[in-house]
Structure 1
Amino acid sequence: MTNLSDIKIVIVDDEPSIVTMLQMVLRREGFHQLYTASTCAEALELGARIFPDIVLLDIMLPDGSGLDICSKLREYGNPHILFLTAKASDLDVLRGFAMGGDDYITKPFNPLEVAARIQARIRRLEQESPSASPVKRPDPVLYRFGHFTVNEAEGELIVEGQPVPCPAQVFQLLLHFCKFPGIVFSKAQLYDKVWGINGQGDDSTVMVHIRRIRERIEVDPGNPKLLVTVRGLGYKLVKESQER
């Protein structure tokens, strides 16, 4: 079980009221290694010095954009990066994920939701961590759907016989669909099952991750045939040609 007091969190925001609010709530939730930065330069200096586990990253900073330093922060221990921003358009969300963000919350926000998302991420990492003393390597669990295969044990997506890079959260969402082919899941259900957050989350987060899956597995992502939208209900992975 992860000790929350060991998790290093960097809050990068130039609004003191937001920083203070997040510090207060996160400390109350059990996080004590909290670091703050108000500029891109300070954030990079902190990242290089402490190798954070979580970065709460504002996009609009006095000396630049959080988007521009996201990939650089990745070099310091590959932290989970959650954007906090007033920029809420679909294009802004897409750009945030394209630049390497793992999650996206728009201002104004409830700080308890930020804490919940961090805790959900920690639980997910605990579930993904291998046993400290494995006795036997499990047989690979493969999900085959036409031209693509998902190897659960290896955390690998194979398309047309070639491995395709797949960010962790995108892979987890795809894996969930593979485990339940033909089942329709609403955005709220996906947020609950994959992100580990009860209730309705940010619709854009799910939509962006669906799009990223389609870009990898669909012949024509703009006209999906595998991961399809069921209007008014949600999404499902068609089960035709599925093997196990």
Structure 2
Amino acid sequence: MELAERATVLVVEDDNEIRELLRLYLIKNGFNVACASDGVSALREFEFIRPDLVLLDIQLPGASGLEVCEQIRSVSNVPIMFVSARGEAEDVIRGLDLGADDYIAKPFDPAIVVARVKANLRRAPIYRRYDPSSQGARTEPAIPKDGIYIDTKKMTVYADGHEVRLSAKEYQLLVFMANRAKEVFSASELYEYVWGRDSNDDPRTVMVHIYNMRKKLEQNPTDPRYIVSVRGLGYRYEGAPVV
């Protein structure tokens, strides 16, 4: 079964023509689609259908896209993609800071939107449920009380013994760096490897994600032990490897 055939996308857009255009293109590509035209109904639809990805406009009546993103991210790691007007750059940065995974500027090519939806779903395993009945018997490893512990089988991350909720892109970024511990990567390289395209967009995308990850994973985010800045070069991961 293709990815699109088992994925549901929630489209949140107050412009009727844009919403319908996105709906038709997504359906044409095999997705199940639900729609909402304002922030309040978006949260209601999200709770009811539990989509695999949310495509979210920033400027919405009722509750803004930023508010919707914040509320969804407080309960779920589902991928969130913002659709924004070109004049909303600061809102986009704030949205990424709240945990969004990607954004697309208006006006857009709907075929590109569909391609980006597919790419985000392929790279976002963290929110998928772990089903122990589908696995053979295995001994659960002890969770260390100090440092970062990444269990890729369950798609979970622990910091100092406590489970940490990361967004899909934060998780992907962490696993990528942990699999290459001690290597130094520039922000542009991380953007290309994790987002899967050249870093022609704002490089602050990576910086915002690193900032958020440090807040969640580090005891002192201003003096990080695990996701370390290398002056003039980029970032290096100093934590434990993945399991």
TM-score normalised according to structure 2 size: 0.73
Matched with 2:186 is 186
Please state if 1:133 is matched with 2:134: yes
User: Which segments of 5 or more consecutive residues in structure 1 lack a partner in the other structure?
Assistant: none
AA paired with 1:107?
A: K
CA separation of 1:164 and 1:42: change in aligned 2, threshold 3 A: closer
1:9-28 equivalence runs, <5 A: 9-28=9-28
1:83-122 equivalence runs, <5 A: 83-86=82-85, 87-89=88-90, 92-122=91-121
Q: Which moved more, 1:69-78 or 1:202-211?
A: 69-78
Residues 79, 124 of structure 2: 8 Å contact kept: no
1:1-244 equivalence runs, <5 A: 1-28=1-28, 30-73=29-72, 79-86=78-85, 87-89=88-90, 92-125=91-124, 133-137=134-138, 140=141, 148-152=147-151, 153-154=153-154, 155-159=156-160, 162-169=161-168, 170-195=170-195, 197-200=196-199, 202=201, 203-224=203-224, 226-231=226-231, 233-238=233-238
AA paired with 1:133?
A: S
Residues 148, 217 of structure 2: 8 Å contact kept: no
TM-fit CA distance, 1:150 = 1.8
CA separation of 1:115 and 1:156: change in aligned 2, threshold 3 A: same
Name the count of aligned residue pairs.
235
CA distance in 1, matches of 2:186, 2:24: 33
Residues 186, 235 of structure 2: 8 Å contact kept: yes
Residues 93, 204 of structure 1: 8 Å contact kept: no
CA distance in 2, matches of 1:119, 1:135: 30
TM-score normalised according to structure 1 size: 0.73
Residues 83, 101 of structure 1: 8 Å contact kept: yes
CA distance in 2, matches of 1:123, 1:219: 31
AA paired with 1:135?
A: G
CA separation of 1:125 and 1:215: change in aligned 2, threshold 3 A: closer
Residues 10, 34 of structure 1: 8 Å contact kept: yes
CA distance in 1, matches of 2:52, 2:224: 35
TM-fit CA distance, 1:207 = 1.4
TM-fit CA distance, 1:224 = 4.1
CA distance in 1, matches of 2:179, 2:150: 12
CA distance in 1, matches of 2:73, 2:220: 31
CA distance in 1, matches of 2:130, 2:62: 41
CA distance in 2, matches of 1:75, 1:222: 23
CA distance in 2, matches of 1:149, 1:135: 26
CA separation of 1:126 and 1:207: change in aligned 2, threshold 3 A: closer
Identity over aligned pairs, percent: 34
CA distance in 2, matches of 1:215, 1:75: 15
Once the two structures are superposed, residues 184-226 of structure 1 have per-residue CA deviations (whole angstroms, 9 ceiling, x without a partner) of: 223343234434x233264333211111222234454334454
Residues 53, 77 of structure 1: 8 Å contact kept: no
Once the two structures are superposed, residues 126-177 of structure 1 have per-residue CA deviations (whole angstroms, 9 ceiling, x without a partner) of: 59765873224377599x9xx5122324522223xx3152314323322222
**What's the RMSD between the two structures over aligned residues?**
3.8
CA distance in 2, matches of 1:166, 1:33: 27
CA distance in 2, matches of 1:212, 1:174: 11
TM-fit CA distance, 1:69 = 2.8
TM-fit CA distance, 1:65 = 0.9
CA distance in 2, matches of 1:225, 1:149: 10
AA paired with 2:6?
A: D
CA distance in 2, matches of 1:222, 1:23: 43
